[in-house]
Chains A and B, each alone.
Chain A
Amino acid sequence: MTMAQALFYLMAFIALASALFVAASKSLVRSVFMFFVTLMALAGLYVLALADFIAITQIVIYIGGILVLILFAFMLSGRETLANLQQQDNRFISIGKLPALLLAVVFFMVMINILFKTDVNHLLWLSKAIAHKNVFSPSDATVSNIGINLMTRYLLPFEAMSILLMMALIGAAHLSRKEKKA
């Protein structure tokens, strides 16, 4: 087992375990922080998938942006809200949640089944990509290529994305503003 593999399984375990904790945790704050761990583990997994730029983006936007946003929204909304937001009955397994659990487990099994049925590792286009040497190698520098692609091939989605982002931000700001006395 190579180092990379060992790391992968470690990261995968951390990610899954923390995700399960998020699901099981009674405390909202705890689950938010454990979600932070999940995201970090995922970023590691991205690196292991040879996507270092994505891993960085993950840390910056998700952990630096989204998570902080959640926490801030959480904390800025006053005591009452906070208390209300926290009150919850969150046992991991209860009669009410059994169908959800069952569904999730079955779903998981189905997906795994499909994965094995399709034999993902030997898909046709993967084989072709390997044959055309269109596969990242751990030594490749990927960031410059991403930048070139972003400005050339994916310019239109990129611009659309930026406008969408701006609209979303303005919308969020509008929604969360204090209403004047109507």
Chain B
Amino acid sequence: MADWQIDLIKVVFIWVWALLIAVVMTWVERRASAMMQDRLGPNRAGPFGLLQPLADGIKLFTKEDIIPERARKILFILGPPLFALPAFSAYAVVPFGDKIVLGGKEIILQVSDVNIGFLYVLALGAIGVYGMVIGGWASNSKYSILGGLRATAQLISYEVPMGLALLTIVLLYGTFSLREIVLQQQGTFLGFLPNWGFFKQPLGFIIFMVAAYAEANRVPFDLPECESELVTGYHTEYGSMRLGLYLFGEYVNMGTLAAITVSLFFGGWGLPYVDMSRFLGPVSYGIASFFVFFLKQAFFLFLFVWVRWTVPRFRYDQLMGLGWKALIPLGLINLFITALLVQLTT
């Protein structure tokens, strides 16, 4: 088993895993929203409707692929992949588990431990915006252009508070690499609290979560694709699998953001008070750590769905107002205070 083969397996595994999360998420979204709204949700395709995402996928595949009149053809085709691929590639730096010993070789459960870590994720988030804007502009419809316009303003202006919140994490742990940050979050802090970023940086966590909802276009911030005003915004003119790619990209984006939240603020794969490596074998420990990570990520994915079916939508200028007038000043103050504290304590 040469090194590159192991990496290939890891890449394929995380690619399939991201797809699986996105597929299951469509089902979770429809069932959870049904349960919250006193309905049943899909329960015909397979037990509890579990094959419904498969049915949706087939439906999207078989639909006719329409390119609207006088749309810019190349950009129209380029839009969806440009939106979906950055979301997939952001999984590369996600530490989805500790390490596993297989055939005498120690494998780190992370595709690549890049030392600039979540800066890479931020950069990919910015590229994702291009997918929306190009798709909106190329489909030659006023609603799409408005959707694309809103997408640019919203995502660019919410990258700033997200960056500020992440800067405070860098101040705390001194490194960008996600794996080191998760390693530093094991153990306890002030005696009883687990040594998580959430307890050290509550304000940073809130700013990051709000910015993450804006990044993923989830409800309070889903103006670029709201169906009541802009007839599903930038992907109005899209049809079969291109629309599928857009919707898929959205769920994969949610998965990435949930993974980043877990690894930065909730201690990645470690359980709070229990050090699993002591009483679990090397192989089972790797799988257990992966499982814990997935559980935490699942909770945050469910939170995305939960908030979506409870809260109304912002208006465009309130969205901007919240971003610039509330989150960025808060982020700066938070950065200043943490810098002060870190300077005094070390």
Say whether A associates with B. Answer: no
